């Protein structure tokens, strides 16, 4: 028990929770009023920093100090972390600037894509030096961001769509995961089961966030995660443009179209942008469906951890794994993700009301964006094209993604048409 208690202060998973609690507490109490980020621009990138240079520098130093304290308590090399972190933060700033260009923004090329690209360029040209890698704490950044994401999942929003929303988000998702798992392992016979389940989770749940949580649960290689992240973001951009056009072409009802987009497109930002192309009502439905789907991040991570301990990694000659073994494997930051959702849904919302919670989330979302941006810069810095190429031998990962996403698109459309199109009378809004 003492060793487990020590992990509360020594484990990166737990520190993702502590960091999130401190950031959210600062926002809730009003200590933190706002979080800066580069703005939009047309021809001169310097305009993205208008009145924001000092606030962004302050953010870099403040967030860096908070992270450094945690790394020091975890007894890691905090002196090596600081210079590397500052460079990673600078690359994150460039990512936000690139994504903020008006034409690029209109195309849906979000900051995470630029962050990954910048990291990959550095890693595969000049190479990432060890001192820079010391500041590239990709898992710590993304886990903290995922806990903050939990605060954005409000049960009051989920209930607005009732049973139809649950059917589209929760009925289709596990079906797609199981289909892709069996297709990848038995038909394609992919050599890496970890890569197979990460692609399945990313495709069926919510893209990058689900991929990272699942990778932690099955202890995947960083190269596998990078490959899935890259594929997911590329196809997300394509789907964000193509699917609203397809919905208009076949004359889908806005509710059906919104549910279809929300259940298939992998990134929340892309879902909202795609939904907006069909109108305000479709945008709201799409966003809520994606929010409901996001709840499954923790559920999928737990199920994957359980399956890996009891089936995939189990030695047939060894005794049956105990529940404690599952607990050891389970990514603890998912507990923070669930706790944040519960606290905001059932404590803060009834206490301070919708308006105040909305103000808090507007600030915490920017914190989350910075942490995700730092994470994808770090993932790029840690990745090597040669390793990624090995994962793509035979093209099986791409085949799995394309086939799985096609199945997801068709099944989600059918479910959305049945429950939102009035075919089945189950209390559709």
**DSSP code string of 190-243:** -S-HHHHHHHHHIIIIITHHHHHHHHHHHT--HHHHHHHHHHHHHHHHHHHHHH
- Whether 232 is covered by a domain: the verdict is yes
Mean pLDDT, consecutive 10-residue stretches, the chain (429 aa), reads 58 90 95 93 94 96 96 91 97 96 84 89 92 92 90 83 84 94 94 94 87 88 85 85 91 92 85 85 88 87 88 72 71 88 94 94 94 91 79 85 95 93 64
Closest alpha carbon to 231 in 394, 384, 99, 388: 388
Q: What is residue 3's predicted lDDT score, i.e. its pLDDT?
A: 56
Chain centroid to Cα 342, Å, comes to 19
The whole domain housing 249 covers: 2-420
Q: What is residue 175's predicted lDDT score, i.e. its pLDDT?
A: 95
Chain centroid to Cα 221, Å, comes to 17
- Whether 61 is covered by a domain: the verdict is yes
Domain count, the chain: 1
Burial category of 27 from C-beta neighbours within 10 Å (exposed 0-12, middle 13-18, buried 19 and up) = buried
Q: Is there a contact between 176 and 203 (Cβ–Cβ < 8 Å)?
A: yes
- Whether 426 is covered by a domain: the verdict is no
What tokens does 378 get? 């770090």
Q: What is residue 43's predicted lDDT score, i.e. its pLDDT?
A: 93
The residues with which 101 forms a beta bridge, in sequence order, are 41
CA distances from 187 to 181, 198, 200, 206, 228 (A): 10, 17, 14, 24, 20
- Whether 425 is covered by a domain: the verdict is no
Quickly list H helices, 312-348: 323-329, 333-343
- Whether 429 is covered by a domain: the verdict is no
The residues with which 41 forms a beta bridge, in sequence order, are 101
- Whether 54 is covered by a domain: the verdict is yes
- Whether 427 is covered by a domain: the verdict is no
CA distance 242 to 425: 30
- Whether 203 is covered by a domain: the verdict is yes
What's the length of the chain? 429
């Amino acid at each position: 028990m003492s060793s487990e208690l020590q992990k509360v202060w020594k484990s990166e998973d737990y520190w993702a929770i502590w960091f999130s609690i401190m950031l959210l507490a600062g926002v809730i109490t009003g200590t933190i009023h706002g979080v800066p980020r580069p703005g939009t621009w047309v021809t001169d990138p310097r305009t993205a920093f208008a009145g924001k240079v000092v606030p962004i520098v302050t953010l870099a130093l403040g967030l860096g100090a908070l992270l450094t304290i945690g790394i020091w308590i975890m007894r890691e090399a905090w002196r090596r972390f600081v210079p590397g972190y500052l460079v990673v933060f600078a690359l994150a700033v460039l990512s936000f600037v690139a994504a903020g260009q008006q034409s690029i923004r209109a195309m849906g090329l979000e900051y995470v894509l630029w962050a990954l690209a910048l990291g990959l360029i550095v890693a595969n040209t000049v190479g990432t030096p060890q001192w820079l890698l010391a500041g590239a704490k990709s898992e710590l950044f993304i886990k903290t961001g995922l806990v903050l994401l939990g605060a954005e999942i409000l049960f009051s929003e989920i209930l607005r769509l009732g049973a139809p929303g649950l059917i589209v988000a929760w009925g289709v998702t596990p079906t797609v995961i199981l289909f892709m798992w069996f297709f990848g392992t038995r038909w394609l016979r992919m050599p890496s089961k970890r890569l197979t389940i990460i692609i399945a989770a990313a495709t069926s749940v919510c893209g990058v966030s689900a991929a990272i949580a699942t990778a932690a649960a099955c202890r995947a290689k960083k190269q596998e995660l990078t490959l899935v992240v890259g594929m997911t973001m590329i196809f997300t951009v394509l789907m964000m443009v193509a699917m609203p056009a397809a919905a208009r072409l076949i004359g889908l009802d806005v509710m059906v179209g919104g549910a279809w987009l929300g259940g298939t497109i992998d990134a929340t930002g892309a879902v909202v942008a795609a939904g907006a192309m069909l109108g305000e009502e479709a945008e709201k439905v799409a966003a809520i469906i994606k929010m409901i789907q996001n709840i499954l991040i923790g559920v999928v991570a737990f199920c994957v951890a359980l399956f890996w301990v009891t089936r995939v990694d189990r030695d047939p000659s060894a005794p049956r794994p105990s529940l404690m073994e599952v607990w050891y494997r389970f990514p603890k930051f998912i507990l923070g993700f669930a706790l944040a959702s519960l606290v905001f849904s059932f404590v803060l919302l009834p206490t301070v009301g919708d308006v105040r919670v909305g103000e808090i989330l507007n600030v915490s979302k920017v914190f989350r964006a910075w942490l995700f941006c730092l994470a994808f810069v770090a993932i790029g810095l840690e990745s090597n094209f040669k390793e990624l190429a090995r994962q793509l031998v035979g093209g099986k990962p791409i085949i799995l993604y394309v086939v799985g996403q096609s199945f997801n698109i068709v099944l989600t459309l059918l479910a959305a048409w049945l429950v939102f199109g009035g075919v089945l009378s189950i209390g559709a809004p």
